[in-house]
Amino acid sequence: MMRYILASGSPRRKELLAKVVPDFEIIPATGEENATKELPAEIVEELSFQKASEIFHKNLTDTADQLVVIGSDTVVSYNHKILGKPADEDDAARMVSMLSGRDHDVFSGVTCFYNRDGKEESFTFSEQTRVHVAEMTQEEVASYVASGEPLDKAGAYGIQGLFAKYITGIEGDYYNVMGLPVARLYQELKNHNLL
């Protein structure tokens, strides 16, 4: 019997993982995130590894169940700078203004820890999606920030929310921008015989 755990409390990741694995538990990682890498793809891989490792090692039991823990991390990168969650409304306005009329990249890293025949194994990958944003007026930026939507999101926006009307196109996986590269995760789980 497979036991799947998502090491994240993100409602978006919960919704996306349900497209791949119908039945799973949610146990968010609580450890401090420490990135030692500099490139966005390496940072999200490192952080997803830390999350999955923490939850895997806390939930390892001697049952016959096969435990699969999925950790993920997403960052928005513009001009070689990583944009995390905004500190406040002013910070959100600054980030959204920076992205206005320009392209940026979203990176998600995913790590799966699992046990097979009593042995611990894991794999990690990252996915990159380029996002094109329309030119926004100061009024549009202010209105979007006032909605409250950007405050809990990396890069100060959610592609699936009110910001959708400013996205003129993407190159890559749409779901990756939401926080979990669904198709790649499905293929990786399938290739490792974890489905």
Residue 63 pLDDT = 60
- Least Cα distance to 78 among 119, 40, 125, 28 occurs for 40
Angle at which helices 138-146 and 89-99 pack, to 10 degrees?
A: 140
73 is catalytic: yes
Rounded to a whole number of angstroms, the distance between the first and last alpha carbons of the chain is 10
CATH pick for 2-191 out of 3.90.950.10, 3.40.50.460, 3.30.70.890, 3.30.300.130: 3.90.950.10
Which of 23, 62, 65, 73 is catalytic? The answer is: 73
- Beta carbons of 109 and 44 less than 8 angstroms apart: yes
pLDDT one-digit tens code per residue, 41-66: 999 999 999 999 999 999 877 565 78
- Least Cα distance to 81 among 133, 172, 155, 182 occurs for 155
Residue 127 pLDDT = 98
For the chain, which residues make up each domain, given as ranges? 2-191
Sign of the Cα torsion 31, 80, 38, 77 reads positive
